[in-house]
């Protein structure tokens, strides 16, 4: 079988020696595009470096020294457009961007891109970007956040970052990026079809169409194929050439003169006009999709050979020869010297240490805290003006929604970098008025009504965080997050992990959810499953059941994001938003007084809360389940059964110590979980308690009451598949009646 890696490497030398090189229709000269002879040699060298890194990675893979062989071969033209942008222009790159990284590294002093990238290939702990966790292209010094996704999920955050640059300027805020920056984001032609990419294009165009600044250059590197599926000829141009709000520019990515020339046009247009550009770059794909890809299975050999004859390095060699910058001998000499240099470096990195323990691997899941100074409290006069519309209500007890609204009001006044984004959160104040009056007080630059696209909301928030903002994003209903969950799982949560903590995207994601809601029906508005969040490493999930806790917990969430760089999901029980009474109409037991920031404790409290001191039964719950459990506690007390009711409050990570401490006080334990039996947090609680009992040889009756494994139906039918106060009372009475100290697990659904 022909080794095409070796063949492509040898063909370059033989074709250049014979000056048998591909032609181009472009008549541009170096002088036409403003490049000197040394500039062209510099770009060519970067292309050659990228090619030999690809070839070396496959050699290393065969020797068991490398673990990733998706390379940049055929896409080396991105070295030319890398030169067209500033090193401070944040770049969100796909995996075929080796030449871009090398070229940009030349713009920043002290960089060693070949050594660094080979360390990444070898998964060495010395890899300066990921610390041996993945082969990623990224660098803090080069303003390139690491990217591991292959399906354009980085486009929404690139769009959000671009939006944030002029936003910071409008708010007189010093962002992480220069105020005249543009954002570069590249991807393949196949990835442009992904819904995530389409959402980012649409959001950028939607903003630009309304004259909202959006300085971004989307670079589509079109090699005509996605793994084995061809892109229809002309599809990219037909799809993007006439999009409202986006300027389309085409270039031949095989020709470094044309690529640089058109990239400078794109860069200038985006920077000067603050509008998005779609730079369509023609490329080819060499050496297959990856080292394991047997390209001959789905492509004719004649097609493969024709593609190899369009090698961008051969095109660059022709330009150097035609303009009498280098001789063929000098070109080959550069090619072979780079090959030898990279081979020597590869020998060095093969000896470098790898990650050796789980603790080392996990070290970057939770980023290092920033020692930010506490935000200064707003003056009494400023707060008086802020709450002028509520001056008669501030000293009255309020329900959860109102208290949360006041908390957000104070937080936005305290923290100038907080920006809220979500659908209908502006003048409308959200579906449940939780963001009411925030738009009036802080304006449209800080309370941003987004288009209806959860991927853009969450991706945009990640982008804001890249530029020093603290975004509080709202997802209108829990069920709506599922079409965008990868923005949390695959993008936000992985960023510190794959950058060894160098990049973070702190944010708070507010989500209205859970069941028991009477105003809306059906599972899209009564989604009782948040399992999607529970297996995301490093993610914090908070769920207040009442207004007093909501105030404290939201403040803690902002601290976690601001000081500890955490990503926090704040799950708000819709059915409890407006709830005032616990046992009977008018008792007001589910309302609370608002605690002003000046009176609040500074430290973060992620512990469970405890109601009652009973020792008969310990009831563990959260959200609506905690409300039901509190109702049940009163009824059980009247029957002579003493309970303590535990509100978990923080669902990830769980306060395991606090839970076990409370459980140990009672011989009977009931877990009340409004989510489904399968995949609910009750499973984790059972495991936690059972494992402790096994260690201590203790015995306790443990029962869980959960929702059925069912979607939530419309109207009163919903209550047939959800836990109720009656369920809790009945099972508690049955447990006490049959109390014999037996170790068992009963399930009551």
Q: Would 375 be classed as within a structural domain?
A: no
Say yes or no: 583 and 633 in one domain. no
Residue 507 buriedness (CB in 10 A; 0-12 / 13-18 / 19+): buried
Q: CATH number of the domain that 202 lies in?
A: 3.40.50.970
Q: State the pLDDT confidence band at 745, using cuts at 50, 70 and 90.
A: very low
Q: Are residues 635 and 579 in the same domain?
A: no
Examine the domain organization and report whether 627 and 736 are in the same domain: yes
Q: Who has greater pLDDT, 737 or 740? A: 737
Residue 204 lies in a domain: yes
* Average pLDDT along the chain: 93
pLDDT at 375 over 80: no
Residue 740, pLDDT > 60, answer no
- 662 within domain boundaries: yes
In the chain, what are the helix, strand and coil shares in percent, each to the nearest 5? 45, 15, 40
pLDDT at 520: 67
Q: State pLDDT tens for residues 189-223.
A: 999 999 999 999 999 999 999 999 999 999 999 99
When mean pLDDT is compared across 92-106, 140-154, 178-192, 411-425, the lowest value belongs to 140-154
| In the block, residue with structure tokens 């003056």 | 379
Q: Would you state the pLDDT for residue 498? A: 94
From CA 653, how far away is CA 102, in angstroms rounded? 40
Element (H, E) at 733: helix 725-737
Nearest CA to 511 out of 416, 399, 441, 423 is that of 423
Tens of pLDDT along 574-605? 999 999 999 999 999 999 999 999 999 889 99
Q: What percent of the chain clears pLDDT 70, i.e. is strictly above it?
A: 96
Q: Categorize the per-residue pLDDT at 743 as very low, low, confident or very high, splitting at 50, 70 and 90.
A: very low
| pLDDT number for residue 741 | 39
Question: Are 299 and 189 contained in the same domain?
Answer: yes
Mean pLDDT of the 9-32 span: 93
On whether both 331 and 292 belong to a single domain, the answer is yes
Phi, psi torsion values for 739, nearest 5 degrees: -60, 115
Q: What confidence score (pLDDT) does residue 298 get?
A: 85
Supply the pLDDT for residue 150: 59
Q: Are residues 132 and 11 in the same domain?
A: yes
- Cα–Cα separations (whole angstroms), residue 575 to 400, 408, 578, 623: 10, 20, 7, 9
pLDDT at 66: 84
pLDDT at 376: 80
Residue 701 has a pLDDT of: 86
CATH of the domain at 723: 3.40.50.920
Q: What is the pLDDT of residue 2?
A: 67
- In this structure, of 451-455, 495-499, 738-742, the range with the lowest mean pLDDT score is 738-742
- Whether residue 374 is contained in a domain is answered as no
Residue 604 domain-assigned? no
- Among 578, 599, 620, the domain-final residue is 599
The pLDDT value recorded for residue 397 is: 97
* Boundary of a domain, candidates 362, 391, 410: 362
* Residue 368 located in a structural domain: no
Report pLDDT for 742: 36
Q: Say if residue 147 is in the same domain as residue 9.
A: yes
Same domain, 342 and 385: no
For residue range 230-263, what is the model confidence (pLDDT) as tens digits? 899 999 999 999 999 999 999 999 999 999 999 9
pLDDT band at 85 (very low <50, low <70, confident <90, very high): very high
369 pLDDT band, cuts 50/70/90, is confident
Q: What is the pLDDT of residues 57-67, one digit of tens each?
A: 999 988 988 88
Query: 577 with 628, same domain?
Result: no
Predicted confidence (pLDDT) at residue 557 exceeds the cutoff of 70: yes
Between 78 and 290, where is the model more confident?
78
Averaged over 334-352, what is the pLDDT?
Answer: 96
Share of the chain above pLDDT 90, in %: 82
Orientation angle between helical segments 37-62 and 4-17, nearest 10 degrees: 150
- What the block records as the tokens of 94 is 């796909």
Residue 419's domain comprises 380-599
pLDDT at 698 over 80: no
Q: Are residues 401 and 515 in the same domain?
A: yes
Q: Give the mean pLDDT of 149-166.
A: 91
Task: Say if 724 falls within a structural domain.
Answer: yes
Tokens 């507010």 correspond to what residue? 510
Considering the domain architecture, whether residues 415 and 553 belong to the same structural domain is answered as yes
State how far the Cα of 568 lies from the Cα of 557, in Å rounded to an integer. Answer: 6
The pLDDT value given to residue 697: 62
Tell me what the mean pLDDT of segment 140-157 comes to. Answer: 89
How many domains would you assign to the chain? Answer: 3
Tell which of 299, 328, 362 closes a domain.
Answer: 362
Q: Provide the pLDDT for residue 373.
A: 64
Is 246 within the bounds of a domain? yes
Q: In Å, how far from its chain's centre is CA 62? A: 34
Q: Burial code of 437-474, b = ≥16 C-beta within 10 A, e = fewer?
A: bbbebbeeebbbebeebbbbbbbbbbbbbbbebbbbbb
pLDDT band at 521 (very low <50, low <70, confident <90, very high): low
Query: Do 102 and 212 fall within a single domain?
Result: yes
């Amino acid at each position: 079988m022909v080794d095409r890696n070796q063949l492509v490497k040898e063909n370059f030398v033989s074709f250049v020696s014979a000056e048998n090189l591909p032609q181009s229709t472009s008549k541009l000269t170096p002088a036409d595009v403003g490049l000197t002879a040394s500039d062209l040699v510099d770009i060519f060298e970067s292309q050659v470096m990228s090619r030999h890194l690809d070839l070396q990675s496959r050699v290393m893979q065969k020797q068991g020294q490398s673990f990733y062989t998706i390379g940049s071969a055929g896409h080396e033209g991105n070295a030319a457009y890398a030169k067209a942008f500033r090193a401070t222009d944040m770049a969100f790159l796909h995996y075929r961007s080796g030449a871009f990284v090398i070229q940009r590294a030349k713009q920043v002093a002290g960089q060693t891109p070949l050594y660094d990238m080979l360390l990444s290939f070898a998964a060495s702990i010395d890899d300066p970007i990921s610390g041996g966790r993945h082969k990623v292209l990224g660098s803090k010094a080069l303003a390139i956040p690491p990217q591991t996704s292959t399906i354009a999920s980085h486009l929404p955050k690139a769009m959000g970052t671009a939006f944030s640059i002029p936003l910071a300027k409008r708010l007189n805020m010093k962002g992480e990026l220069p105020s005249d920056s543009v954002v570069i984001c590249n991807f393949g032609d196949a990835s442009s079809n992904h819904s995530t990419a389409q959402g980012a294009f649409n959001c950028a165009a939607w903003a630009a169409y309304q004259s909202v600044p959006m300085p971004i250059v989307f670079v589509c590197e079109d090699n005509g194929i996605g793994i084995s599926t061809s892109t229809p000829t002309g599809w990219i141009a037909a799809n993007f050439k006439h999009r409202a709000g986006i300027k389309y520019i085409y270039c031949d990515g095989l020709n470094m003169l044309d690529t640089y020339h058109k990239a400078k046009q794109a860069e200038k247009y985006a920077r000067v006009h603050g509008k998005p550009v779609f730079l369509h770059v023609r490329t080819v794909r060499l050496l297959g999709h990856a080292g394991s890809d047997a390209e001959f299975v789905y492509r004719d050999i004649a097609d493969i050979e024709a593609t190899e004859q369009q090698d961008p390095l051969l095109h660059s060699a022709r330009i150097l020869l035609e303009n009498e910058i280098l001789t063929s001998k000098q070109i080959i000499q550069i090619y072979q010297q780079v090959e030898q240099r990279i081979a020597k470096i590869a020998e060095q990195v093969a000896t470098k240490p790898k990650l050796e323990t789980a603790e080392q691997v996990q070290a970057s899941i939770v980023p290092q805290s920033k020692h930010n100074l506490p935000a200064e409290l707003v003056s009494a006069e400023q707060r008086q003006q802020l709450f002028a519309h509520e001056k008669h209500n501030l000293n009255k007890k309020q329900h959860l929604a109102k208290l949360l609204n006041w908390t957000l009001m104070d937080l936005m006044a305290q923290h100038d970098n907080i920006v809220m984004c979500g659908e209908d959160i502006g003048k409308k104040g959200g579906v449940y008025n939780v963001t009411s009056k925030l738009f009036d007080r802080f304006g449209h630059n800080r309370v941003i009504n987004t288009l209806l696209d959860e991927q853009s909301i969450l991706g945009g928030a990640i982008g804001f965080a890249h530029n020093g903002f603290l975004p509080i994003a709202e997802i209108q209903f829990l069920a709506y997050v599922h079409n965008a969950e990868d923005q949390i799982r695959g993008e936000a949560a992985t960023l510190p992990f794959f950058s060894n903590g160098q990049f973070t995207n702190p944010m708070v994601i507010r989500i209205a959810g859970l069941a028991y809601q009477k105003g809306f029906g059906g599972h899209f508005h009564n989604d009782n499953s948040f399992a999607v969040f529970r297996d995301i490493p490093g993610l914090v999930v908070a769920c207040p059941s009442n207004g007093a806790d909501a105030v404290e917990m939201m403040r803690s969430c902002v601290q976690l994001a601001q000081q500890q760089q955490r990503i926090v999901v704040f799950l708000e029980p819709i059915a409890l938003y407006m709830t005032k009474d616990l046992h009977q109409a008018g008792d007001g037991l589910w309302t609370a007084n608002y605690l002003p920031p000046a009176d609040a404790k500074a430290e973060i409290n992620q512990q469970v809360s405890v109601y009652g001191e009973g020792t008969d039964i310990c009831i563990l719950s959260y959200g609506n389940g905690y409300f039901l459990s509190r109702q049940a506690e009163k009824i059980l007390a009247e029957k002579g059964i003493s309970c303590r009711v535990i509100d978990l409050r923080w669902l990830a990570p769980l306060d395991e110590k606090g839970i076990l401490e409370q459980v140990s006080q009672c011989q009977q334990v009931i877990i009340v979980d409004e989510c489904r039996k399968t995949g609910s947090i009750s499973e984790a609680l059972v495991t936690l308690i059972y494992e402790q009992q096994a260690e201590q040889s203790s015995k306790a009756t443990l029962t869980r009451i959960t929702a059925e494994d069912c979607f939530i139906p419309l109207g009163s039918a919903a209550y047939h598949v959800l836990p109720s106060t009656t369920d809790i009372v009945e099972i508690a009475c049955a447990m006490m009646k049959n109390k014999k100290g037996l170790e068992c697990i009963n399930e009551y659904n």
